[in-house]
Amino acid sequence: MASTRCKFRCNSVLPINPASELPSGVIVNLSAVTSDDAESENGKFWTATPSGQTTLWISNPEGAAVFAQGTDYYVDFTPAS
């Protein structure tokens, strides 16, 4: 099965208020990378995927610790079956 790789930048990591009715954790917002330099890695990813948003609600502290605002991440999409 085919897969594809995208590149996203973490825009924010927001803690969820533990006093609320919602489970504690963080909300991570990512968007597709951009670049004015079409030859750079980010420029090549931007040409293929000029727009994209991903929002994650992470309640696992170890999983949440992976994300930092301003950091770029590769996102691989592979069919699950």
| Residue 4: HSE in the Cβ half-sphere, 13 Å Cα cutoff | 5
Q: How does residue 4 score in pLDDT terms, banded at 50, 70 and 90?
A: very high
Mean pLDDT of the region 1-28? 88
The answer as to whether 15 is a domain residue is: yes
Q: Given this model, what pLDDT does residue 16 score?
A: 86
Coil, strand or helix at 8: strand
What is the per-residue pLDDT across 22-46, written as a single tens digit (0 to 9) for each? 778 999 999 999 999 999 999 999 9
Residue 14 lies in a domain: yes
> Does residue 81 fall inside a structural domain?
no
Confirm whether 50 is domain-assigned: yes
Q: How many domains does the chain have?
A: 1
Token pair, residue 14, equals: 């927001």
Q: In which domain, by residue range, is 19 found? A: 4-76
